[in-house]
Every structure is written in structure tokens, then in C-alpha cells.
């Protein structure tokens, strides 16, 4: 399917499929309530297990490539986390039989690498709240070279092979390689289908995708954007980078990641955007920040030169940028 990055694409598909299946098993068995990290976002057994499994697979497939990932083992090593650690080790060992508690720590901490000329970036579960609620979440993995995302893959347990929500269904995997398109197949394999964004050019018909959790966005600004665009459709609420897959298949037209009033200084993390951005772009869409700048993955673990994210089918990108300017969502709130 791919002329370039064939080995990397094969690895990425195996990795996100393995981790997504494991996360589904953990979700089905309801192994753990949420614990909390220092930033108070929930983290689960599945986050740690997913990262450990993919980091170990990467160590075997591309041992010289660093991994930049969301989690580290600090919270897991706390004295009151023995039960969580035991559960993580149990699930990781189902895929990596040599796993023990020390190796699980080590594999998780492989994700503490720093961005180099070539590196992988991982969100072991994007949409942890969706995971806990039994809804949408994805495992997102990408390869970055010289500051540009060149490959992205997502395991989507609760999107079917047509990338429509189907909780408990067969699931899907999505992969894109720079210059070679974006593709979807079932999570268990099968013939891949090429993705293409919608051809919608009328802002009044634009279908907006936004975060399910209101605290992750600015709901008032979203309402103002809908009014500025003249859109006749209410926003579609969905957790996680699954929204990028839905946009890439043409079932949505615009995706806004606005600054939340509760976190006006928030800077996007590269693992939240890398895989989804290339999938949309290779499906024919466009991704920028809220001011129209390209996302810059050369600045470390955060998109420090960018403000929020706008993803579109391409045709509606300029109208969306104009709407963002009109409602003042293309800049940080005053006083932040």
C-alpha cells in the first residue's frame, strides 16, 4: 500500500491494533476507577499498559528511534498504587510474557525521550474520559522527521470500519503516510479503504465537531462560531482524536480546538495532534492553528508556537478562519 515508510507503517498498524485491543479488554473488564495525575486529568490502567506495550514493541522494531509519549511511571510508583501496578503488569504480560513490575516501569519511561531529527510520538489513550465512560477513545501513534509528521496511525475501538460510532463493534484502524493518502480498515485487518474529506463548500451546511466535555473548549465561542458561519447544524460532540477520523471520512467538515476559559494559557501537546493532523491532511483536508499558522512539531513536546487547532475539509478553512477572527477566538483571552 505504501512505497515509502512501508516498514514503519506496518509497525504502526501492529502497535495501535495491539494496544487498542488491550484497552478494549481492560475497558470491558472495568479494571480500574480513574486515578489522577498532577494536572488532575484521569489516567487509567489502560493508559499505562498501552504505553508500555507500544514502547516495548518500538524498542524491538526501531531501537534507535526515541519515543515522546504522554505518561511516565512516577504516579504508578507511588506507594498507594500497588493494586494499579499489579493490574498494569498483568495486562502487559498478556502481550509481553517477560513483563514484570520493573520492566513495566522501564517500558513506560521509554516515552520520556526528547524530540530529535526523527522520533515517534504516542498518546496511549486519547480521550481517557471517553474510555472511562465507555465511549470514544483512540490509541494515537505518529512518526515525526525534521519537524514534520510523516506517518500517523490510530486504533479506534469504538468506530467501525466506516468510521461511524459503534461502541462494542469491530473497531477500526486508520493510517496515513505523507504523500500517500489516508486509509481505514477494520481493527482486525481486511482490505483498506482510502479516506476522502467532504466536498462541502457552503458554511451554512458545515457540520462542526467539538469535544464532548465542555471544560475542554469554549462553548460560548463555539455558539458564536456557528452563528458567524451561519451553520444550520448543531455541533457533534465526540471525545478524543476520533473526531479527526470522522472528519477524514467526510462525516464532519470542521473541527475546532478552542482555548477553554478555565485554561487560557493551555498549549497543545504534540501527542494530541500529530496522528490526527496527518490523517486529515492526507484525506484532502487542512489543519492549522486558530490563526492559520501551520502546526509546528519542531519545538519540543508542546506546540509552543501555535494557538489551538482548526481542522477542516479544506474548502471551509478560510471561512472558518474568518469566523474565528470575527468572534475573537483566534487569540488568547485578555488578561491570560
Spot the catalytic one: 47, 126, 272, 330: 47
Rounded-to-integer distance, Cα 171 and Cα 160, Å: 5
Residue 284, all three cell numbers: 484532502
To the query of whether residue 128 is one of the catalytic residues in this protein, the response is yes
Rounded-to-integer distance, Cα 182 and Cα 164, Å: 16
107, 65 contact by CB (below 8 A): no
Give the angle 112-44-93 at the CA atoms, nearest 5°.
Answer: 75
- Closest among 12, 68, 24, 67 to 49, alpha carbons compared: 24
Residue 63 burial class via C-beta count within 10 angstroms: exposed 0-12, middle 13-18, buried 19 and up: exposed
Spot the catalytic one: 44, 84, 128, 217: 128
Rounded-to-integer distance, Cα 164 and Cα 41, Å: 27
Helix axes 45-61, 101-109, angle to 10 degrees: 80
128, 118 contact by CB (below 8 A): no
- The total of other beta-carbon atoms located within 10 Å of residue 269's CB is 16
Rounded-to-integer distance, Cα 271 and Cα 11, Å: 18
Residue 325, all three cell numbers: 477572527
Residue 311 burial class via C-beta count within 10 angstroms: exposed 0-12, middle 13-18, buried 19 and up: buried
Report the DSSP pairing between strands 208-210 and 236-237: parallel
To the query of whether residue 193 is one of the catalytic residues in this protein, the response is no
Rounded-to-integer distance, Cα 218 and Cα 233, Å: 18
- Residues assigned a catalytic role: 47, 128
Amino acid at each position: 500500500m505504501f512505497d515509502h515508510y512501508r516498514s514503519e507503517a506496518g509497525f504502526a498498524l501492529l502497535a495501535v491494533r495491539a494496544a487498542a485491543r488491550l484497552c478494549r479488554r481492560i475497558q470491558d473488564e472495568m479494571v480500574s476507577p480513574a486515578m489522577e495525575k498532577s494536572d488532575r486529568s484521569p489516567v487509567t490502567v489502560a493508559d499505562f499498559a498501552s504505553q508500555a506495550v507500544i514502547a516495548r514493541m518500538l524498542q524491538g522494531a526501531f531501537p534507535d528511534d526515541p519515543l515522546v509519549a504522554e505518561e511516565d511511571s512516577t504516579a504508578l510508583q507511588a506507594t498507594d498504587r500497588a493494586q494499579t501496578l499489579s493490574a498494569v503488569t498483568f495486562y502487559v504480560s498478556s502481550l509481553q510474557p517477560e513483563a514484570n513490575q520493573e520492566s513495566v516501569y522501564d517500558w513506560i519511561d521509554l516515552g520520556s525521550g526528547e524530540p530529535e531529527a526523527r522520533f515517534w510520538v504516542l498518546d496511549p489513550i486519547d480521550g481517557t474520559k471517553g474510555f472511562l465512560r465507555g465511549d470514544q477513545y483512540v490509541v494515537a501513534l505518529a512518526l515525526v522527521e525534521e519537524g514534520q509528521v510523516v506517518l500517523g496511525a490510530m486504533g479506534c475501538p469504538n468506530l467501525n470500519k466506516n468510521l461511524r460510532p459503534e461502541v462494542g463493534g469491530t473497531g477500526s484502524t486508520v493510517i496515513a503516510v505523507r504523500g500517500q493518502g489516508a486509509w481505514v480498515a477494520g481493527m482486525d485487518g481486511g482490505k483498506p479503504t482510502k479516506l476522502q474529506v467532504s466536498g462541502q463548500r457552503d458554511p451554512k451546511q458545515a457540520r462542526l465537531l467539538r469535544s464532548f466535555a465542555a471544560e475542554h473548549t469554549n462553548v460560548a465561542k463555539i455558539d458564536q462560531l456557528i452563528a458567524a458561519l451561519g451553520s444550520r447544524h448543531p455541533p457533534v460532540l465526540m471525545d478524543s482524536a476520533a473526531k479527526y477520523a470522522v472528519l477524514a471520512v467526510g462525516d464532519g467538515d470542521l473541527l475546532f480546538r478552542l482555548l477553554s476559559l478555565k485554561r487560557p494559557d493551555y498549549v497543545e501537546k504534540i501527542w494530541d495532534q500529530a496522528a490526527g493532523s496527518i490523517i486529515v491532511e492526507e484525506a484532502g483536508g487542512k489543519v492549522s492553528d486558530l490563526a492559520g499558522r501551520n502546526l509546528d512539531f519542531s519545538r519540543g513536546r508542546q506546540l509552543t508556537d501555535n494557538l489551538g487547532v482548526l481542522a477542516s475539509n479544506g474548502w471551509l478553512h478560510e471561512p472558518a478562519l474568518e469566523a474565528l477572527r470575527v468572534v475573537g477566538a483566534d487569540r488568547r483571552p485578555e488578561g491570560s
